[in-house]
Structure 1
Amino acid sequence: MSDWYRDLANSGVGAALTRRLGLPRPAVLRRYTPGDPLLPGPVVVVGTAGGRLADEVGAVLKEAGVTVLAADAAADAERLGAVVLDATGVSSPADLAVATTALAPAVKRLRSSGRVVVLADPATDAASPAQAATRQALDGLVRSLAKELRSGSTANLLLVPAGADASLAGPLRFFLSGRSAYVDGQVVTLSPAELPAAEAAERPLAGQVAVVTGAARGIGAAIARVLARDGAHVVAVDVPAAGQALAEVANEIGGTAFGLDITAGDAPARLVEHLRERHGGVDVVVHNAGITRDKLLVNMDAARWESVIAVNLQAQLDLTTALLAADGLLRPGARVVCVSSQSGIAGNRGQTNYAASKAGIIGMVRAWAPEFTARGATINAVAPGFIVTEMTAKMPMGTREIGSRINSLQQGGLPVDVAETIAWLAQPGSAGVNGQVVRVCGQSMLGA
Structure 2
Amino acid sequence: MTTETHPEIRPDVLRERAAAALTAARARTAGLTDVVSDPDLTAQHSPLMSPLVWDLAHIGNQEELWLLRNVAGREFLRPEINSLYDAFQHPRAERPKLPLLGPEEARRYAAEVRGRVFDLLDRTPLEGTALLDRGFAFGMIAQHEQQHDETMLITHQLRAGEPVLTAEDPQPPQGPAPAAAEVLVPGGPFIMGTSAEPWALDNERPAHVREVGSFWIDTVPVTNGAYQAFIADGGYTDPRWWAAEGWEQIRRHDIGAPLFWQREAGQWLRRRFGVTEPVPDDEPVLHVSWYEADAYARWAGRRLPTEAEWEKAARHDPAAGRSRRYPWGDADPTPLHANLGQRHLRPARAGCYPAGASPLGVRQLIGDVWEWTASDFLPYPGFRAFPYREYSEVFFGPEHKVLRGGSFAVDPVACRGTFRNWDLPVRRQIFSGFRTARGV
TM-score over 0.5 for the pair: no
- Higher normalized contact order (CA 8 Å, seq sep 6+, divided by chain length): 2
TM-score, L = length of structure 1: 0.29
TM-score, L = length of structure 2: 0.29
Which structure shows the higher helix fraction?
A: 1
